[in-house]
């Protein structure tokens, strides 16, 4: 068999994303409503703002807008996480970034499996935020042991998907038939199971320890807990969700609304109460309910350099210290957020000058430019345009906010901050990929191309390259 008969991983990813969306809409009809709302708002925004349309078009974002989606799952053991890594690799999705959620009082740490190259993201941007339970943070030894036993005795993957993953690894690809089977088999891992694996009292014990633990250990699999389309106006979407009584969370996570959006803003409708079944001690079924699944939306802005990210973290932390419980006083929270972020320039040239964000450099002319030109001159004279690079990753403080609003109540067990990237990577079976390197590479390649187009040879570009490579 020749390599050309294999299905490109982006096609498998797209088919999987579609199948997942269909399944989730069927399982959680309110998610279908959210999708419609976002589509409507995006159409209106594009119609009202031709500049936005152009900007999205120029950065290759327009054609993938309607299928921009992420999802999230939570798993319980190292071996589950390691097999997921192999499963996602079939779809060209690799672990990018380490997120410590213990900081936000959540006993998990996470990564996001996503495509790595820009052309892959453009082909299909689907990604999965994946969290691993920190059993080491469960203080109650008895519960800890029970959780371990439940996790060790479940198998969240079908035999079929394991076989296909092995085939993929041997052949370095899947045929059309195998790819179709793979999507169906892989989907099973993410399906909802109404039947819990424990009785009611055991479920309650986990719930009281931390609601998240009950969600992770009491079921047969790590049901997909939300999907997320991309909106062009999250403020409008939030208002509409309120008007439609969709029970949105109280605040939009992330930076405030800006002329030039940075990073990521997110909100969600809160997790629904869903009917589940317990086994009682006689093996009979008993009705109960579980709250875990929700729908989320996101608005993406530009990726920030480590320097920009530090400024973002520092400003957000300042606001969180001033307004300890944003949910209790939403207006004050937004006001303080706006006030603090006045310190973050909202002008592309300034963001570039202060090296706070990543950009693609586009040569705007084919005419030769003086070899003595510097970037300021090239930009000011319209020879080069700067296009912000879209942020493709996540934010731990926002993620913790999303977790919290879907856990209904404050956890009774305190979780202390304890990042452990080494333990996470050991469970995963490889290091996570640095998100900053990804953006820096896109930027560096665009600079090279831009200089070539402007007629600079290697020696001539040295000065200009030096000027921008201080940018990580």
Q: How many CB atoms neighbour CB 172 within 10 A?
A: 9
Residue nearer to ligand OOG on the CB measure, 129 or 333: 129
DSSP 8-state symbol, 45? H
Query: Token digits for 400?
Result: 């913790």
Closest to 214 measured CA to CA, from 270, 275, 154, 151: 151
Is residue 80 at the binding interface for Ni ion, with CB under 5 A as the rule? Answer: no
* Beta strands across the sheet bearing 69-75: 94-100, 108-114, 127-133, 69-75, 226-229
Q: How far is the CB of 17 from Ni ion (least distance, A)?
A: 14
Kindly indicate which of the ranges 26-34, 56-64, 181-189, 397-405 contains the residues binding ligand OOG, using the contact rule CB under 6 A. 397-405
Which residue has 């009292």 as its token pair?
A: 201
Whole-angstrom CA distances from 176 to 8, 185, 300 are: 10, 14, 33
Binder to Ni ion among 296, 392, 393, 435 (CB under 5 A)?
Answer: 296
Kindly indicate which of the ranges 119-127, 398-406, 431-439, 447-455 contains the residues binding ligand OOG, using the contact rule CB under 6 A. 398-406
Q: How far is the CB of 321 from ligand OOG (least distance, A)?
A: 22
Q: How far is the CB of 72 from ligand OOG (least distance, A)?
A: 4
Contact map string, positions 34 to 73, toward ligand OOG, x by CB under 6 A: --------------------------------------x-
Q: How far is the CB of 442 from ligand OOG (least distance, A)?
A: 22
The closest residue (CB) to ligand OOG is 399
Q: Of ligand OOG, Ni ion, none, which one does residue 131 interact with (CB within 5 to 8 Å by kind)?
A: ligand OOG
User: Distance between CA 215 and CA 135 in Å, rounded?
Assistant: 13
Contact map string, positions 279 to 298, toward ligand OOG, x by CB under 6 A: -----------------x--
Is residue 398 at the binding interface for ligand OOG, with CB under 6 A as the rule? Answer: yes
Q: How far is the CB of 25 from ligand OOG (least distance, A)?
A: 18
Residue nearer to Ni ion on the CB measure, 293 or 309: 293
Is residue 68 at the binding interface for Ni ion, with CB under 5 A as the rule? Answer: no
State in Å, rounded, how far the first CA of the chain is from the last one.
43
Write out 287-334 in H/E/C secondary structure. Answer: EEEEECCCEEEEEECECECHHHHHHHHHHHHHHHHHCCCHHHCHHHHH
Contact map string, positions 417 to 456, toward ligand OOG, x by CB under 6 A: ----------------------------------------
Q: How far is the CB of 19 from Ni ion (least distance, A)?
A: 19
Where is 200: in which H helix or E strand? Answer: helix 200-209
218 within 8 A of 197, measured Cβ to Cβ: yes
Q: Of Ni ion, ligand OOG, none, which one does residue 333 interact with (CB within 5 to 8 Å by kind)?
A: none
Binder to ligand OOG among 74, 85, 134, 360 (CB under 6 A)?
Answer: 74
Q: How far is the CB of 129 from ligand OOG (least distance, A)?
A: 4
Contact map string, positions 217 to 246, toward Ni ion, x by CB under 5 A: -----------x------------------
Closest to 351 measured CA to CA, from 231, 467, 471: 471
Count residues contacting ligand OOG (CB under 6 A)? 12
233 within 8 A of 41, measured Cβ to Cβ: yes
User: Crossing angle for the helix pair 176-189 and 78-90, nearest 10 degrees?
Assistant: 150
Closest to 312 measured CA to CA, from 360, 351, 359: 351
What percent helix, strand, coil does the chain show, rounded to 5?
Answer: 50, 15, 35
User: Distance between CA 205 and CA 209 in Å, rounded?
Assistant: 6
Q: Please, where are the H alpha helices in 93-135? A: 118-123
* Interaction site with Ni ion (CB under 5 A): 72, 228, 296
Q: Which residues contact ligand OOG by CB under 6 A?
A: 72, 74, 129, 131, 225, 266, 296, 394, 398-399, 402-403
């Amino acid at each position: 068999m020749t390599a050309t008969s294999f299905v490109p991983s982006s096609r498998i990813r797209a088919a999987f994303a579609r199948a997942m969306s269909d399944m989730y809409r069927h399982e959680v009809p309110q998610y279908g409503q959210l999708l419609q709302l976002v589509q409507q708002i995006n159409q209106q925004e594009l119609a009202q703002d031709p500049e936005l349309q152009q900007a999205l078009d120029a950065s290759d974002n327009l054609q993938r807008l309607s299928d921009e989606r992420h999802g999230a799952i939570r798993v319980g053991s190292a071996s589950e996480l390691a097999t997921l890594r192999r499963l996602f690799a079939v779809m060209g999705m690799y672990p990018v970034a380490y997120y410590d959620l213990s900081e936000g009082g959540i006993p998990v740490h996470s990564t996001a499996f996503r495509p790595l190259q820009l052309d892959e993201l453009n082909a299909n941007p689907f990604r999965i935020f994946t969290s691993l339970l920190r059993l080491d943070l469960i203080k109650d030894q008895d519960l800890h042991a029970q959780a371990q036993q439940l996790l060790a005795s479940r198998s969240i993957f079908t035999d079929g998907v394991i076989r296909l993953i092995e085939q993929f690894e041997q052949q370095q690809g899947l045929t059309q038939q195998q790819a179709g089977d793979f999507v169906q088999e892989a989907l099973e891992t993410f399906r909802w199971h109404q039947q819990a694996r424990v009785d009611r009292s055991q479920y309650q014990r986990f719930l009281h320890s931390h609601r998240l633990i009950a969600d992770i250990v009491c079921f047969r699999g790590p049901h997909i807990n939300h999907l997320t389309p991309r909106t062009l106006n999250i403020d409008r979407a939030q208002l509409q969700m309120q008007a439609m009584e969709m029970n949105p969370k109280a605040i939009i996570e992330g930076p405030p609304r800006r002329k030039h959006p940075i990073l990521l803003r997110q909100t969600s409708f809160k997790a629904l109460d869903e009917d589940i079944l317990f086994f009682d001690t006689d093996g009979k079924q008993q009705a109960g309910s579980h709250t875990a699944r929700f729908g989320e939306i996101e608005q993406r802005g530009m990726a920030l350099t480590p320097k920009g990210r530090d400024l973002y973290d520092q400003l957000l932390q300042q606001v969180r210290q001033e307004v300890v419980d944003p949910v209790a006083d939403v207006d004050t929270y937004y006001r303080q957020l706006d006030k603090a972020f006045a310190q973050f320039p909202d002008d592309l040239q300034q963001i570039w000058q202060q090296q706070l964000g990543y950009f693609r450099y586009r040569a705007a002319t084919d005419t030769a430019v003086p070899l003595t030109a510097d970037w300021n001159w090239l930009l000011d004279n319209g020879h080069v345009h700067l296009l912000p690079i879209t942020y493709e990753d996540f934010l731990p403080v926002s993620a913790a906010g999303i977790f919290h609003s879907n856990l209904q109540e404050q956890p009774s067990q305190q979780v202390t901050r304890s990042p452990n990237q080494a333990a996470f990577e050991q469970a995963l079976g490889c290091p996570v990929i640095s998100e900053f390197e990804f953006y820096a590479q896109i930027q560096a390649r665009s600079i090279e191309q831009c200089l070539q187009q402007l007629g600079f040879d290697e020696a001539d570009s040295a000065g200009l390259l030096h000027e921008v490579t201080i940018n990580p």
